[in-house]
Amino acid sequence: MTDAWEALRRHTQARIGLGRAGNGLPTRRHLEFVAAHAAARDAVHAPLDVESLAQQLEALEFDDLPGRPRLGAPLTVRSAAATRDVYLRRPDLGRRPEDGTALPHSGADMGIALCDGLSSTALLAHGPALVAAIVRALPGSTFAPPVIATQARVALGDHIGAQLGVTTMLVLIGERPGLSSADSIGVYLTHHPEPGRRDSERNCVSNIHPPGGMTCEGAARVIAALVDGARRLGASGVMLKDGSRGPALADGEHRAL
């Protein structure tokens, strides 16, 4: 029997045309749902393998970029949320570092923090490749050593960027998993990071999880355009638009330069 939905399923990860078996789903579709739900739960609760991620980052090579063979040994930090349970119940603690955190001042153009967020699975699956793509998309920029942050929310990057003394901070964070993807990364860009920055002062590139979502190279092109726009505008956030397909500044924003 021909499945009229099959052609459409090739173009979306959404659950469509699942069918019925009596008052419920067919067994196959039910098992697919249970498996996806389990993967989402695992992504949220599984601890980040910091050692493995650090090794992958340290092994990245950029022999094709003059003067930048490697990024350097990654640094590690934790948020003020002592456990995963506390992290999930207290988002505020995930936005600031634990007491005594100190990172070396680099004065680099760019900082990159890899945060577990709500999917450590995403960082291990795509984090190193995304970092490599970003570095190659910004060949004229200097980079501070990458920072791996656990029990981390986006705003933790403001503290990290301020301590590193970077001009622009990129937070690569595991996004909240859904039933179609448990390994998606979001990248949050903050120009002149400092504690207290509002969410409206950031730009986000989300849904990065090849092959089903945005590719690392595609995301890096958007990020590079946003970095260029932030440098010209002197700020990031709602006034800064994606310029990967055109001008990075919104209409009329030249007046703010």
Residue 104 has phi, psi (to 5 degrees) of -70, 140
Which has more confidence, 24 or 251? 24
Q: Are 119 and 186 in contact (CB under 8 A)?
A: no
> Locate tokens 């690569």: which residue?
172
How far apart, in Å, are the Cα atoms of 119 and each of 29, 46, 115, 165, 185?
Answer: 24, 8, 9, 27, 8
The verdict on domain 42-256 having CATH code 3.30.450.40 is no
Mean pLDDT of 153-159: 97
Predicted TM-score (pTM) of the model is 0.86
Determine the residue type at 222: V
**Which pLDDT tens digit goes with each residue over 136-145?**
999 989 999 9
Summarize the chain as % helix, strand, coil (round to 5): 35, 15, 45
Kindly state the helix (H) or strand (E) to which residue 173 belongs, with its residue range: strand 168-174
Q: What is the pLDDT of residue 68?
A: 66
What per-residue confidence (pLDDT) applies to 19? 81
Q: Which two tokens stand for residue 129?
A: 């490749």
Mean of the per-residue pLDDT values of the chain: 89
- The full set of domain ranges for the chain reads 42-256
Whole-number pLDDT of residue 11: 76
pLDDT confidence tier of residue 177, bands split at 50, 70 and 90: confident
Q: Decide if 36 contacts 121 (C-beta within 8 A).
A: no
Which is more confidently placed, 247 or 70?
70
pLDDT at 253: 47
How far is CA 233 from its chain centroid? 23
User: Are β-strands 110-115 and 147-150 bridged in parallel, bridged antiparallel, or unpaired?
Assistant: parallel
Q: What is the DSSP letter of 256?
A: G
For residue 257, pLDDT over 70 is answered with no
DSSP assignment of 3-68 equals: -TTHHHHTT--S------BTTB--HHHHHHHHHHHHHHHHHHHSPP-HHHHHHHHHT---TTSTT-
